[in-house]
Amino acid sequence: MRVAAVGDIHMGADSQGLLRPAFETLDDCADLLLLAGDLTRHGTPAEAEVVAREVRDLPVPVVAVLGNHDHHDERPEEVTAILQDAGVTVLEGTATVVECAGARVGIAGTKGFGGGFVGRSAGEFGEPVMKEFVRTTRRSADSLCAALKDLDGQDCAARIALTHFSPVADTLAGEPPEIHPFLGSYLLAEAIDTAGADLAIHGHAHLGSEHGMTAGGVRVRNVAQPVIRRAFNVYHLGGEG
Ligand SMILES: [Fe+2]
Ligand SMILES: [Fe+2]
């Protein structure tokens, strides 16, 4: 099966129609479209409406997570509802199964959060706000793990973990090391490796690189649009490399 993915499209009032022509060709090259968060610039309902018009009635199913930008206006529920109204399945600590190319593919998603990577990570220690920072990531990772496990027994030919923040440092190559703790967390990779997945898709790291892998051997792809520099990339699952 063929999985199209892009993140960090950061749409605003002047973005309408930029991606629609490419998205309308999706059935030629992909079986579903994953959106890896930061779909808007500031998370306003008006920007969400731009995204909704861009992806409404596409020829393939669309599954998304929100990004930090989609939270900026502090109305993620409204952004989610607007996307859902356009037919997008929005995941947050949840999973969905999509029928595509005669097979079932399971997608578990969460926005994720920061904290850093092994050896250079924040811990649940000290001030309450610091503990809450790390606990926020841990809760997100736990929800991703549970959502992936929910896909067990659902006869999925493949399982995908979809996040906005990165589960690994590999795909941050190119980003200043000083900001790695704000770009992702190893807890997300632990969740993916514990529950198992065939592919992990994320965004957020605009200056990062596309290819990485978890310690457990799960392929990781950073699909932030400034990284992939196209409307979407297509990944093949199920023995096609
Ligand atoms: Fe972004
Ligand atoms: Fe982001």
Please name which ligand lies nearest the alpha carbon of 227.
1
Q: What is the mean pLDDT of the chain?
A: 96
* Burial 80-116, CB ≥16 within 10 A → b, else e: bebbeebebbbbbbbbbbbebeeebbbbbbbbbbbbb
CATH code for the domain in which residue 118 is found: 3.60.21.10
Distance (Å) from CA 67 to ligand 1 centroid: 7
- The domain tally of the chain equals 1
**Angle, helices 45-55/76-85, rounded to nearest 10 degrees:** 20
Residues of the chain with pLDDT > 90: what percent?
A: 95
Sign of CA dihedral 241, 31, 225, 144: negative
What pLDDT is attached to residue 146? 98
Distance (Å) from CA 77 to ligand 1 centroid: 19
Give 206-217 pLDDT, tens digit per residue.
999 999 999 999
Q: Does residue 168 form part of some domain?
A: yes
Give the structural domain span for 207: 2-236
Q: Any idea what the Cα angle at residue 236 is, between residues 109 and 108, rounded to 5°?
A: 10
**For residue 36, what is the enclosing H or E element?**
strand 32-36
User: Residue 102 — pLDDT band, cuts 50, 70, 90?
Assistant: confident
pLDDT at 241 over 90: no
Distance (Å) from CA 127 to ligand 2 centroid: 25
pLDDT at 47 over 90: yes
pLDDT at 101 over 80: no
pLDDT at 113 over 80: yes
CB 109 within 8 A of CB 162: yes
CB 35 within 8 A of CB 88: yes
Q: Does residue 241 form part of some domain?
A: no
Query: How many CB atoms lie under 10 A from the CB of residue 182?
Result: 16
Q: Does residue 28 form part of some domain?
A: yes
Please name which ligand lies nearest the alpha carbon of 6.
1
Residues with beta carbon < 5 A to ion ligand 2?
Answer: 38, 67-68, 204
What pLDDT is attached to residue 239? 53
Average pLDDT over residues 121-125: 91
Number of separate helices (H) and strands (E) present in the chain: 7, 13
- Helices marked H in 111-237: 128-150, 186-195, 225-228
Please name which ligand lies nearest the alpha carbon of 7.
1
Give 57-68 pLDDT, tens digit per residue.
999 999 999 999
Distance (Å) from CA 102 to ligand 1 centroid: 33
Distance (Å) from CA 175 to ligand 2 centroid: 13
Please name which ligand lies nearest the alpha carbon of 40.
1
